[in-house]
Every structure is written in structure tokens, then in C-alpha cells.
Amino acid sequence: MAIELGRRQFISALGGVSVAWPLTARAQQVTKLPTIGFLGTSSASNWESYVAAFAARLRALGWIDGRTIVIEYRWTEGRPERIAEKAAELVQLKADVIVTSGDAVTALKQATSVIPIVFAMANDPVGGGLIANLAPPGGNVTGLSSQSTDLARSRLELLRKVVPRLRRLAIMLDVGYPEAVLELVAVQAAARKLGLDVTPLEIRRAEDIALAFTALKAKPDALYVVVDALVAANKSGIITPALHLRLPTVFQNRPFVEAGGLMSYGTDFPSLFQRAAELVDKILRGTKPSDIPVEQPTKFDLVINLKTAKALGLNVPPTLLARADEVIE
């Protein structure tokens, strides 16, 4: 009798487990948090301020990592050959939306035509073939343009105010990035109108940077650097030899000037990532990316490193210092 009772208790307990398990599984399925894939085309340290701005804006909108969403980060460390691999990982995770920069959009589009893609910054998204139109973009891609290509002439004009004898200009760019090539064309056109001779310094990998500097046959008067993931991951590898050669440098955004570059003119990247968080919010609440127009910035920041200017023996006009949004001393 005791044996029979024990058998019944075991069967009853087993039955309880068999009933409880599917209920638990169903509960887990119901409470699965939306997943945001974040594909960084540089390193986590280089994008620290961007990630902070993105996460802070998401929190303000009610999306908290680990509580109401899950954010899966992947980093390519500035190595273009890793973009496809990291893009595939996020697609396999079935992320609800993927955030990245213009460098990675093509690889993501090849990996998925279904998962929404938001680029937080792209130099020229239409010219670079990321989207067909700004409004509506169509497909599964939307985001924010940094308009870097459109600012090429403005950067040269600002640079010439600090380097009035500017005649020979070197332009460093990653020729493997289509939008960088478009910016090169814009810089060359602007340089011709300003009467400048241009020497492109083409790179495709980190090892090419030092070779590009040593290949210079004649010292240029200044260096224009087209920013992308490869360049961002190798800031010091560009700025240090440029300073050694006493080359004034102009960039797209602030971090390069903080690292010792002479000046930058462009949009504030953390603010673009804040806005990207708002686009992600719309998508998670049901808006299709094809219905979200690609936005263009309305404010551009001029940042000048006065310490670098003095080290290069350059005098920054007081009118330009007064115009600057930030002066690093």
C-alpha cells in the first residue's frame, strides 16, 4: 500500500511538472523583451560618448536595458572585414531593430531585408547608395545624415583662415568606403575653386596609414581627413605623424581635435545618436522604417585646438575663435 501511494505521488508530481513547464515556457515567450542590435564600426572606447547618449535617450523614452529591452552590442574595432560577420550575428539573434553607422549599412542590407536598420550617422546616404531617397527612404533602412560631403568646401575655407598660405592639400581617406570616395570628390571640387593642389592619400587598412605618410613626395600645407570607422579607430596613428610633420589637420568631428588635431567642423555625433534612439522608439512602437524620413542636421560645430595651433606656429584669427563652439587650450 505504501509502495502504491509513493508511485501515485511520483506520477502526480511528474504530472505537475509536465503541466507547469509549458506554462513557464509560455510565460517566458510572452515576456520576451524587444532586442536592439547595436553594431559599432569602431571600438567601444571610441564610441563611449555615442553609446551613452543613445542609452540615456532610450531610458528617457522608457526603454531600459535589461528591464524593458535587451541591447546586444557588437564591435568591429575599425576593421572593415569584420562588419559582415558582426552583422550576421545580430541578424541571427533576430533583433527587432539594428542601430549602426553608414559604414555597416550595406552589409546589414545584404544580411536582412526584414529587420529595421537605423544608421545614426552617414556622410551621404543617398549618394552612397544606402537609401533611394531621404523621404521616404523605402525598404528597411532609415536614419540620420551627417552631411559631411556637403561641408567639404566650408572645412577648406575655415582651414584657410588658419593656414592663409594653404596651396597644397593632402586628403586621407579609406577608399574602401564609398561615402568617403564621394567626399573626396567634393573636396577636390572645392579645392579647385580655391586654387589648391590636391594629393589623395588612399588607405584600406590600418597598416596603410604610416605608408601613406612616408609616400608623400612633397610636404603638403595641410591634411584633410575623411572620417570613417577605420580612421576613427586609428586617430593617434594619423594625428601623431601629422603633428611630427607639422601638418595642420581638419576633421569632421570633435574627438579628433580633442586627440590633438587642429580643427573640426561638422555635426555633433552624440546628438545624432540621441535622435537615433528616438527613431528606434518609433520602430519599436510599430512605425515602419520606410515611413520614417532620413533626417539632416541643422547645427554644425566648429572646434579648434588652440594648443595644437600654437605648437604648429599658427595664429588663429580672433574672429574665428569667437565663432568657434569650442576652443581647446
The helix/strand/coil state of 134 is: coil
Classify burial at 19, counting beta carbons within 10 Å of its beta carbon; exposed 0-12, middle 13-18, buried 19 or more. exposed
pLDDT of residue 298: 86
- Identify the DSSP state of 113: S
Cβ atoms within 10 Å of 30's Cβ, excluding its own:
7
CB 180 within 8 A of CB 201: no
How far apart are alpha carbons 257 and 242 in whole angstroms?
13
pLDDT of residue 217: 85
Residues 79-120: tens digit of each pLDDT: 989 999 999 999 999 999 999 999 999 999 999 999 999 999
Q: Which CATH architecture has domain 35-146+268-291?
A: 3-Layer(aba) Sandwich (3.40)
How far apart are alpha carbons 129 and 108 in whole angstroms?
13
DSSP string, 223-283: EEE---HHHHTTHHHHHHHHHHTT--EEESSHHHHHTT-SEEEE--HHHHHHHHHHHHHHH
CB 131 within 8 A of CB 141: yes
Q: Do domains 35-146+268-291 and 149-266+300-328 have the same CATH topology?
A: yes
What are the φ and ψ backbone dihedral angles of 142, each rounded to 5 degrees? -150, 180
CB 97 within 8 A of CB 39: no
Spell out the domain ranges in the chain: 35-146+268-291, 149-266+300-328
pLDDT of residue 10: 39
Classify burial at 174, counting beta carbons within 10 Å of its beta carbon; exposed 0-12, middle 13-18, buried 19 or more. buried
- Identify the DSSP state of 145: -
What amino acid occupies position 155? R
pLDDT of residue 92: 97
How far apart are alpha carbons 257 and 262 in whole angstroms?
6
Cβ atoms within 10 Å of 323's Cβ, excluding its own:
12
CATH homologous superfamily for the domain 149-266+300-328 = Response regulator (3.40.50.2300)
Helix then strand then coil, in percent of the chain rounded to 5, is 45, 20, 35
How far apart are alpha carbons 109 and 115 in whole angstroms?
9
Measure the CA dihedral 78/82/88/93, to 10°.
-60
Q: Which residues of the chain have pLDDT under 50?
A: 1-29
What amino acid occupies position 29? Q
